[in-house]
Amino acid sequence: METLKDKFFERNSELSMEFSKYVLEHPEMDDFLAEERVTVFLPEFDPELREFNMRIAKDIEAKGGKVLYVKVKQISPKITSRLIGVEVVAN
């Protein structure tokens, strides 16, 4: 049975993968990532996950850790293919 923590893990994993793509496309992000910090996502479109992640972040900071907060306004739907205008003809 999938727990709520499992669901949060899956949602955070998706955000992490998308953030990795974003970082590759935006080299200026290297400055933020140079220092050792725990990356915590704060998705505005998912208040439940945002609250869960904020509690984790505050716990990390309370223990002396550093956090990199990544606020995300929204995420676009998954795209399985980038092809446009495909026409398939079979004889």
Give me the residue spans of the domains in the chain: 4-72
Q: Which pTM does this prediction carry?
A: 0.80
Q: Give phi and psi for 42, each to the nearest 5.
A: -120, 80
**What percent of the chain shows pLDDT beyond 90?**
62
Express each pLDDT in 24-60 by its tens digit.
Answer: 988 888 888 878 899 999 999 999 999 999 999 999 9
CA-nearest of 46, 38, 61 to 10 is: 46
